[in-house]
Chains A and B, each alone.
Chain A
């Protein structure tokens, strides 16, 4: 006999509101319907009433975790429309901030995933390390969440002491390599809890157009940092971890390996950072009319901004934001089909969803 179980909008696993309607038979999930929109704020429309300085502050607040990524993507699009070319040092600082944000996001996610596995000690360990990542972000930007770093044509603050930041990063890398990565990649408790759970096949991943670690854990080898490099990623040497199994374990492995790759990128960026200006220094910004698209590999996957401006206008005509969770979330339906009801919180969390971004 079938029955329906609603999960959400107040969610047992995550802080943000969304709802799953699950059709179950016994303990098995037969089908899932997803409902979002509880956090819809009309940010895209609101952006049309903001000028080119205000709009950066507004779009920074689309997401609490990848706030830097949102302003980076927006500023890259606006730089295409204004002909502003960020100086090399600014491009390196953007890489440093983006990778620190990826560490922040992945470690936060690892903590939540461990909590859902019943591994609460590891949750506390992850959150303690996350604090240290935020300390590095604060040392650079002065802020712990909304960093206010990006502007058209560069960044607002310099990395004044790269050696000190490098020491902080190396210390963090050692701690993550000792405490987090081995647990996520080799622990029997974590592996047995996650193996074979919430499988998304490669075919379905391609069909749903999923992005980021969710795609890479299903054998889809894509990463904009390598495939369509922006900022200073062309000058970085790094690997893109890909797993073939498509289950929660694979998504755990991909993120664990990405933590190490992010540290590797950070070390390179801090060691090779060129001297010079951090912005173009142009006080007056003039927009050419048209639409520009910009894409960035956020911690959860590709973020896309389509930005339209009328010539010499102060406000955008249209900003459209396509976030990674927006394309990853529909795939949860296929991951949850056939799964045990008790596994669904972990399955949903395994895509590292962000509803604030998705609803905008």
Chain B
């Protein structure tokens, strides 16, 4: 069994994994982000970052969450229909700053938390990296 094949076994999440461009992506369906975060905590994976992508299709945004497990980068992609996503700040404190940043840059509302300004100042409008805001 290769090292790649052992990762799903080490993780408590069952699913299909695909290695692509430096990341082991989870390809299973119907994942709850909070379940993923709890499972990553359980296996001792280190939270790395969230990358937000603005899409051109009907799904406005895609959020990619990454954890490191023993030098391997695990990726979980979550397309957003609207602009709301569960916060994982309460179960993964390392996500605090990046949730605040994604909120400021892409106006994503992370449900279940409050925001202190991070890169912007109090009162600035969220969504500064959104295409429509830049073009305006």
Residues of A within 8 A of B (CB): 33, 35-37, 40, 42, 44-45, 77, 80-81, 206-209, 222, 224, 226-228, 290-295, 302, 304, 306, 308, 317-318, 320, 322, 326-327, 330, 359
Contacts and interface: CB of A to CB of B under 8 A. Distances in A.
B96 A295 contact: no
- Looking at chain A's contact residues, the main secondary structure is mixed
Contacts of A80: 21-22
26 contacts: A35-B117, A37-B117, A37-B119, A37-B121, A40-B119, A45-B128, A45-B129, A77-B22, A80-B21, A207-B93, A209-B46, A222-B71, A227-B71, A290-B20, A290-B21, A291-B21, A291-B51, A292-B22, A293-B21, A293-B73, A293-B75, A294-B22, A304-B66, A322-B98, A330-B93, A330-B94
A306 B52 CA distance: 10
A84 to B, nearest CB: 13
A295 B94 contact: no
Interface in B19-37: 20-23
B124 to A, nearest CB: 10
Contacts of A318: 51, 53-54
Contact of B47 (A35, A209, A222): A209
B70 interface: yes
Contacts of A222: 46, 68, 71
Contact of B49 (A45, A292, A320): A320
B96 A330 contact: yes
Contacts of A37: 117-121
B66 to A, nearest CB: 7
Interface in B77-136: 93-94, 96-98, 116-121, 128-129, 134
A327 B51 contact: no
A42 B128 contact: yes
A300 B44 CA distance: 22
A204 to B, nearest CB: 9
Nearest to B73: A293
A308 B70 contact: no
Interface range on chain B (Cβ under 8 Å from partner): 35 or more
Contact of A304 (B48, B70, B71, B72): B48
B120 A207 contact: no
A228 B72 contact: yes
Contacts of A40: 119-120
A292 B23 CA distance: 8
A307 to B, nearest CB: 9
Given A80-B22, A207-B94, A306-B64, A322 B121 contact: no
A226 B71 CA distance: 9
A115 to B, nearest CB: 28
Contacts of B98: 322, 326
Nearest to B116: A33
A304 B49 contact: yes
**A-B CB proximity, top 4 nearest:** A227-B71, A209-B94, A292-B21, A37-B119
A208 B48 CA distance: 10
A42 B129 CA distance: 8
A120 B97 CA distance: 35
Nearest to A326: B97
A39 to B, nearest CB: 9
Contacts of B116: 33
A139 B132 CA distance: 47
B106 to A, nearest CB: 11
Given A80-B22, A206-B44, A293-B23, A306 B51 contact: yes
Contacts of B66: 293, 304
Contacts of B23: 293
A322 B52 CA distance: 12
